[in-house]
Chains A and B, each alone.
Chain A
Amino acid sequence: MIDRISFRAALITAMLSVAGCASGPGGGIYVPVGDEPAKAPEPPKTSTDTVDSEAPVWRKSEQPEAAPEAKEPSRSSSPSYRETGDGLSPAALSLVREADQLLAQGNVSGAIARLERAQRIAPRSAEVYFKLSEAYVAGNQLGSAEQFTLKGLSLAGSDIRLQRAGWLLLADIRRARGNVAGADQAEARAAAL
């Protein structure tokens, strides 16, 4: 069984080289602040002239009133979302590669340390979580492996390749844990893609 997991995990490895530098479209927009930000407008103030009254001041809304209406930020945009997670940057990819080598040498904790570094710089990449799952499989911590696979799947979005790799990995892990029904369910999800 573990062999089979390794096999499907290897699929992810192969896939990574393709995913490579492709970064996800429509990712969260990076917003720099610049070194010398224009002086920020004063935060909305609440009136302090109420010291004479003992009772707390109630307003009609939880929003502060003091700010003049004209300054009301006009928000025309709607809540943001996107269809896929991020790809791996070359830096993250180099760490994943190092992890692969360490894993091949049987150094699981070394591989996990590399992958956690990769996760910190590419936290919205499904691949990183699948690789973490693979490392935990190698360390025979299947519970953690399953959770990292689920986390990866939550970021796979509409990417069919990632979805399939994730569901198959999940199926293998669940089967190895004795969860046959769960494994079948995951396999069915992969097949339905």
Chain B
Amino acid sequence: MFRLCAIGLVLLAGWMVYLDAVVTSRFEGRRFEVPSRVYARPLELFDGASVSASALERELSLSGFRKGDGKKSGSYQRSGNRFVISTRGFSFPDGDEPRRRISLSISGDRVQGFSVIEGDNAPIVRLEPAQIGGIYPAHKEDRVLVQLEEVPALLPTTLMAVEDRNFYDHFGIAPLSIGRAMLANIQAGRIVQGGSTLTQQLVKNFFLTREQTLVRKANEALMSVLLELHYEKDDILETYLNEVYLGQAGTRSIHGFGLASQFYFGESLKDLDVHQIALLVGMVKGPSYYNPRRHPERATERRNLVISEMEQAGLVEPGRAARVRGLPLGVSERPSYSENRYPAYIDLVRRHLSRDYKEEDLRSEGLRIFTTLNPAIQYAAEYAVTDTLPRLGGGQGAEALEATLVVTAKDSGEVLALVGGRDPQFAGFNRALDANRPIGSLIKPFIYLSALQEPERYTLTTPVLDKSFTLEFDDGRRWQPKNYDGEERGEVPLHKALSRSYNLPAVRVGLDIGVDEVRDTLTAFGVDTPISRYPSMLLGSVSMSPVTVAQIYQGLATSGFNTPLRTIREVTDAGGEALSRYSLEVEQVADSAAAHLVQYAMQETMQEGTGRSAYYTVPQELTLAGKTGTTDDGRDSWFAGFSGDLLAVAWVGRDDNGPTSLTGASGALPVWSKFMAQVPQHGFSPVVPDGVNYHWVNSEQQALTDEYCDNARLLPYIAGSEPTQTISCSGNLERRIRGWFEGLFQ
């Protein structure tokens, strides 16, 4: 018997040693894996800022602002186009944005009368950014870590009043409080108190499974005692506040009061009122049973019970308790962000992050990732795709049509929006990044840019031959390019050949300056994959993803400055310390003057050429530049173009690469135009580069002419390459007169 006891004691001691090791190693080590948070770009508010009233309201809601009196931080008031916003303040990587109360109105999609009513005065204020996603640990636990000293004092005291009155006095387990809980439950006629201490609850969540067995209960008690032996009460309490499970959002579980406060109220823990604290503490008992969004009556009842407990414990004055019992729950309508709202965009962000960060760190270190996503632009882009795609024809298999849209800021290369398919919520194949498709005529601006960089050989009015020809290769194969419409027009001025997207002149010019020259241009503009040397590349047989197309068009839009696309501005650690900055970079890769000439022809495309149907949708005043692209049998319909502020690339086609009856103008362009029409922005109006002069010319005759002639066109020329001949409105008059005079004096 004694021996049996001894063996039992030894085994128990051994077990205790094991449990102790479990408890200390888990508690000592990294206690929580905290997901990384991904933020949208913050909205900058100042006089003249471009934003519509509805977009501002949407943005505020996305950032967790609530419609209210505009006095409480995190709320706003709107009357007509006037807004009063109380910001919460935010710690950005480059400094803190303090709390302010600001007033502004929106007129003509611009901010006017911006002023700071309360707080540090400033002509420009950043709203806190919307959280647009997270990179979660495998177990999908989400939390915002809080420290005990930053928690409002009422929270832990209420928690103790309800869950564990003697927390600071017991040694991990409290037999007395189990008895008291039983008594209280009997008095109330139902369960109002649990018998477990906070320490036991923490141990249960932290180390043990949920099954209710005697062995587990015993382990829980032993481990609780061990935990108390090793650690301070405050340490245990803080860990509890961060660990406790308080809800579910899809597959993501909401842990800790810090996140719960944001999740249910859209507010920071430190800003919570009595009734909100009471609700959260009440929910500890059963987060799904008392879910305030799904079961508001139950939640209210539970909350009011907690308020009574607070009153009994002397934490709240009776008068105030009565008053707050009458308040509504005050939960936000929906969580301030839903997980993976922008799967295609987050996918691109993750790929950029993977260059510098390990996946495990992203999942556990609580990094803060500040992206360039513009929620208003993303909204417009998603709408453009989902609204337009069903209206397109597309012939057989139209239901299989897919589309992507990439939008960047023209001068910074920031990726503002990304739509990866007809269902923007679908987190699967990301066509914007992974669908490499032939770009068709989107290559033509690069052919002509290569040519126009030699002004002694090519200008916008150089006649190029629209006439078929056959190319015979060494191996005897023949290649005979054709125009889209099968027609031939003889000599056409270069600008017209580009704006009408004629194939034959493009191939002729490309062969004249050399396929290698065109390849070099494409590489300089950001193509990082091998490009075919076959002349068919001049008709766009080269394949690219929509994001790569956006990259190379960036250089065209900025007059020859390559601007690497970025989705991330900064990454900081959990404490706000900067880890990486991804700065704006520019690199001149083409002569600005030549690029300006190409921009002219790309504007002409929109006004007279293959892109003109954009103006069915887009306001006439919005000057644009762009290019259509279509591949054989309509397998790929492309449109790439830009305004003064934005660059967008649209692609429409089928995943199985099947034929459609669409062209760039009838497939991708409607998507592109629908997007452009929704966004307030500046028209495209490039600054004339040094060394470029505009002249009135008769472009068919390659001669200077009079401004008022019917066929006069104001065209840019690189200095020295302008026409030398002059022609009058009615024909060759001037030359004829000169001829007559010359004859007279000879």
Enumerate chain A interface residues (CB-CB to B < 8 A). Answer: 26-35, 37, 40-48, 50-51, 54, 56-57, 59-64, 66-67, 71-73, 75, 77-85, 89-91, 94-95, 109-110, 112-114, 116-117, 119-121, 123-124, 129, 132, 144, 147-148, 150-151, 153-158, 163
Contacts and interface: CB of A to CB of B under 8 A. Distances in A.
Nearest to B658: A56
5 contacts: A28-B683, A41-B616, A57-B661, A83-B688, A85-B687
Nearest to B603: A79
A150 B690 CA distance: 11
Contact of B610 (A60, A63, A89, A156): A63
Given A62-B663, A63-B610, A116-B584, A29 B683 contact: yes
A179 to B, nearest CB: 14
Given A30-B50, A147-B588, A154 B391 contact: no
Most chain A beta-carbon contacts within 10 A, residue among B411, B620, B645, B659: B411
A34 B586 contact: no
Given A33-B52, A34-B109, A112-B583, A62 B661 contact: no
Interface string B203-226: 000000000000000000000000
Given A45-B392, A59-B663, A150-B561, 16 more contacts: A32-B52, A44-B665, A54-B396, A56-B395, A63-B666, A64-B665, A72-B612, A73-B613, A75-B612, A80-B623, A94-B122, A116-B569, A147-B586, A148-B586, A151-B588, A154-B592
Contacts of A151: 558, 561, 586, 588
Contacts of A144: 585
Contacts of A48: 393-395, 398
B613 A29 contact: no
Nearest to A126: B687
B488 to A, nearest CB: 13
A48 to B, nearest CB: 4
Contacts of B501: 62
A147 B587 contact: yes
A35 B683 contact: no
A117 B44 contact: yes
A150 B94 CA distance: 27
B713 A91 contact: no
A75 B621 CA distance: 10
Contacts of A41: 616-617
A35 B53 contact: yes
B393 A47 contact: yes
B603 A80 contact: yes
Contact of B52 (A35, A50, A95): A35
B46 A33 contact: no
Contacts of B316: none
B324 interface: no
A76 B152 CA distance: 66
B44 A50 contact: no
B52 A94 contact: no
Interface stretch (B29-37, B172-180, B245-253, B672-680): B672-680
A73 B95 CA distance: 49
Contacts, number: 262
A167 to B, nearest CB: 10
B266 interface: no
A59 B581 CA distance: 50
Nearest to B667: A46
A33 to B, nearest CB: 5
A114 B94 contact: yes
A124 B392 contact: no
B108 interface: yes
A61 B608 CA distance: 13
A43 B604 contact: no
Contacts of A75: 607-608, 612, 615, 620
B681 interface: yes
B196 to A, nearest CB: 49
A117 B41 CA distance: 11
B685 A81 contact: yes
Nearest to B634: A56
Contacts of A155: 687
A112 B433 CA distance: 30
B388 A154 contact: no
Contact of B622 (A31, A95, A113, A124): A31
B419 interface: no
B660 A30 contact: no
B53 A123 contact: no
A158 B690 CA distance: 8
Contacts of A66: 393
Contact of A32 (B108, B583, B633, B673): B108
A46 B662 contact: yes
Contacts of B52: 32-35
A119 B584 contact: yes
Contacts of A35: 52-54
A48 B684 CA distance: 34
B685 A56 contact: no
A129 B584 CA distance: 11
Contacts of A33: 52, 109, 619, 677-680
B409 interface: yes
Contact of A89 (B46, B558, B583, B599): B46
Contact of B93 (A73, A90, A94, A113): A113
A171 to B, nearest CB: 15
A57 B643 CA distance: 32
Contacts of A43: 388, 391-392, 616-617, 670, 673-674
Most chain B beta-carbon contacts within 10 A, residue among A79, A95, A113: A79
Given A62-B501, A77-B607, A31 B714 contact: no
Given A30-B682, A43-B617, A48-B394, A119 B588 contact: no
B699 to A, nearest CB: 12
Nearest to B680: A32
A95 B46 CA distance: 12
B689 interface: yes
Interface string B620-654: 11110100101001100000000111000000000
Nearest to A41: B616
B388 A27 contact: no
B96 to A, nearest CB: 13
Nearest to A121: B44
Contact of A67 (B47, B123, B616): B616
Contacts of A71: 616
B645 to A, nearest CB: 8
Interface in B525-583: 558-561, 569, 578, 581, 583
